[in-house]
A and B are shown apart, each in its own frame.
Chain A
Amino acid sequence: MRFMLLFSRQGKLRLQKWYLAMSDKERKKMVRELMQVVLARKPKMCSFLEWRDLKVVYKRYASLYFCCAIEGQDNELITLELIHRYVELLDKYFGSVCELDIIFNFEKAYFILDEFLMGGDVQDTSKKSVLKAIEQADLLQEEDESPESAVMSKAHWEGGDWGGGGGRGRCLSSLVGGKARTKLPHTVSVQLLYSFVLYPVLLHSHLPIIPLKGSGSLACNTMNTLLVFNHLI
Chain B
Amino acid sequence: MPAVSKGDGMRGLAVFISDIRNCKSKEAEIKRINKELANIRSKFKGDKALDGYSKKKYVCKLLFIFLLGHDIDFGHMEAVNLLSSNRYTEKQIGYLFISVLVNSNSELIRLINNAIKNDLASRNPTFMGLALHCIANVGSREMAEAFAGEIPKILVAGDTMDSVKQSAALCLLRLYRTSPDLVPMGDWTSRVVHLLNDQHLGVVTAATSLITTLAQKNPEEFKTSVSLAVSRLSRIVTSASTDLQDYTYYFVPAPWLSVKLLRLLQCYPPPEDPAVRGRLTECLETILNKAQEPPKSKKVQHSNAKNAVLFEAISLIIHHDSEPNLLVRACNQLGQFLQHRETNLRYLALESMCTLASSEFSHEAVKTHIETVINALKTERDVSVRQRAVDLLYAMCDRSNAQQIVAEMLNYLETADYSIREEIVLKVAILAEKYAVDYTWYVDTILNLIRIAGDYVSEEVWYRVIQIVINRDDVQGYAAKTVFEALQAPACHENLVKVGGYILGEFGNLIAGDPRSSPLIQFNLLHSKFHLCSVPTRALLLSTYIKFVNLFPEIKTTIQDVLRSDSQLKNADVELQQRAVEYLRLSTIASTDILATVLEEMPPFPERESSILAKLKKKKGPSTVTDLEETKKERSADMNGGTEPAPVNASAVSTPSPSADLLGLGTGPPPNAAPAPASSGSLLVDVFSEPASAVTQLAPGSQENFASPDLASSELVSEEPSEAARGADELTHKFVCKNNGVLFENQLLQIGLKSEFRQNLGRMFIFYGNKTSTQFLTFTPTLICSDELQSNLNLQTKPVDPTVDGGAQVQQVVNIECISDFTEAPVLNIQFRYGGTFQNVSVKLPITLNKFFQPTEMASQDFFQRWKQLSNPQQEVQNIFKAKHPMDPEITKAKIIGFGSALLEEVDPNPANFVGAGIIHTRTAQIGCLLRLEPNLQAQMYRLTLRTSKETVSQRLCELLSEQF
Task: Please list the residues of chain A having a beta carbon within 8 angstroms of any beta carbon in chain B.
Answer: 13, 15-16, 19-24, 26, 28, 42, 44-50, 52-53, 71-73, 75-78, 80-82, 84-85, 103-107, 110-111, 114, 118-129, 133, 136-145, 149-150, 152-154, 156-157, 160-163, 165, 169, 173, 176-177, 180-181, 184-186, 189-190, 193-194, 197-198, 201-202, 228-229, 231
Contact = CB atoms under 8 A, between A and B. Distances in A.
B166 A124 contact: yes
A173 B11 CA distance: 9
B617 to A, nearest CB: 13
A111 B256 contact: no
Given A48-B348, A53-B772, A119-B171, A140 B88 contact: yes
A23 B63 CA distance: 17
Given A45-B384, A76-B348, A119-B136, A81 B5 contact: no
A126 B247 contact: yes
Q: Which of A47, A106, A153, A231 has the most CB of B within 10 A?
A: A153
A140 B382 contact: no
A137 B5 contact: no
A145 B137 CA distance: 27
Contacts of A104: 14, 17-18
Q: Which of B344, B387, B622 has the most CB of A within 10 A?
A: B344
A81 B305 contact: yes
Nearest to A119: B174
Given A118-B167, A124-B205, A129-B202, A153 B384 contact: no
Contact of A201 (B22, B63, B202, B347): B22
7 contacts: A45-B343, A81-B301, A118-B133, A118-B170, A121-B206, A144-B90, A161-B15
A75 B170 contact: no
Interface stretch (B108-116, B306-314, B538-546, B807-815): B306-314
Given A19-B139, A23-B836, 9 more contacts: A53-B835, A110-B100, A118-B174, A125-B254, A126-B201, A160-B12, A173-B8, A186-B6, A193-B18
Given A50-B384, A118-B170, A150 B5 contact: yes
A126 B8 contact: no
B623 interface: yes
A211 to B, nearest CB: 15
A126 B246 contact: yes
A83 B15 CA distance: 30
Nearest to A161: B12
Contacts of A161: 11-12, 15-16
Instruction: Tell me if A's interface is mostly helix, strand, loop or mixed.
Output: helix
Given A16-B67, A141-B89, A144-B89, A52 B3 contact: no
B56 to A, nearest CB: 10
Q: Which of B16, B87, B245, B774 has the most CB of A within 10 A?
A: B87
Contact of A75 (B100, B311, B385): B311
Nearest to B252: A81
B461 interface: no
A84 B304 CA distance: 11
B384 A20 contact: no
B296 to A, nearest CB: 15
Interface of B: 1-12, 14-18, 21-22, 51, 53-54, 60, 63-64, 67, 69, 71, 87-90, 92-93, 96, 100, 102, 126, 129, 132-133, 136-137, 139-140, 163, 166-167, 170-171, 173-174, 177-178, 201-202, 205-206, 209, 245-247, 249, 254-257, 259, 263, 299-301, 304-305, 307-309, 311-312, 315, 343-344, 346-348, 381-382, 384-385, 387, 621-623, 772-774, 777, 833, 835-838
A149 B8 CA distance: 11
Contacts of A73: 263, 315, 623
A52 B382 CA distance: 18
Given A121-B209, A125-B247, A77 B304 contact: yes
Contacts of A119: 136-137, 139, 170-171, 173-174, 177
Q: Which of A42, A107, A143, A156 has the most CB of B within 10 A?
A: A107
A141 B344 contact: no
B821 to A, nearest CB: 45
A114 B311 contact: no
Q: Which of B7, B54, B163 has the most CB of A within 10 A?
A: B7
Given A123-B202, A137-B88, A142 B126 contact: no
A78 B53 contact: no
B347 A48 contact: yes
A142 B2 contact: yes
Contact of A124 (B6, B17, B202, B343): B202
Contacts of B301: 81, 84, 229
Nearest to A55: B623
A215 B235 CA distance: 42
Contacts of A157: 8, 11-12, 15
Q: Which of A133, A138, A141, A231 has the most CB of B within 10 A?
A: A141
A48 B96 CA distance: 30
A58 to B, nearest CB: 11
A189 to B, nearest CB: 5
Contact of B6 (A26, A118, A138): A138
A114 B133 contact: yes
Contacts of A15: 67
Nearest to A185: B3
Given A53-B621, A122-B205, A125-B257, A45 B174 contact: no
Contacts of B167: 118, 123
Nearest to A228: B300
A149 B53 CA distance: 8
A161 B93 CA distance: 20
Given A124-B166, A126-B246, A177 B344 contact: no
A139 B773 CA distance: 49
A137 B173 CA distance: 24
B200 to A, nearest CB: 9
Contacts of A84: 301
A103 B21 contact: yes
Contacts of A24: 71
B166 A123 contact: yes
Given A145-B9, A152-B51, A111 B96 contact: yes
A81 B163 CA distance: 22
B18 A197 contact: yes
Nearest to A16: B67
A104 B387 CA distance: 40
Q: Which of A128, A136, A150, A189 has the most CB of B within 10 A?
A: A189
Given A21-B139, A126-B202, A156 B53 contact: yes
Nearest to A182: B3
A193 B308 contact: no
Contacts of B777: 26
A133 B129 CA distance: 10
Contacts of B259: 75, 78
A95 to B, nearest CB: 11
A121 B173 contact: yes
B299 A153 contact: no
A53 B627 CA distance: 13
A103 B67 CA distance: 10
A81 B202 contact: no
Contacts of A149: 51, 53
Given A75-B311, A78-B256, A48 B21 contact: no
A198 B22 contact: yes
Contact of A77 (B17, B307, B384): B307
A93 to B, nearest CB: 11
B772 A229 contact: no
Closest 4 CB pairs of A and B: A72-B623, A119-B174, A77-B308, A22-B836
Nearest to B86: A144
Contacts of A107: 10, 60, 63, 92-93, 96
B205 A201 contact: no
A127 B255 CA distance: 14
A26 B833 CA distance: 11
B837 to A, nearest CB: 7
A99 B647 CA distance: 53
B246 A52 contact: no
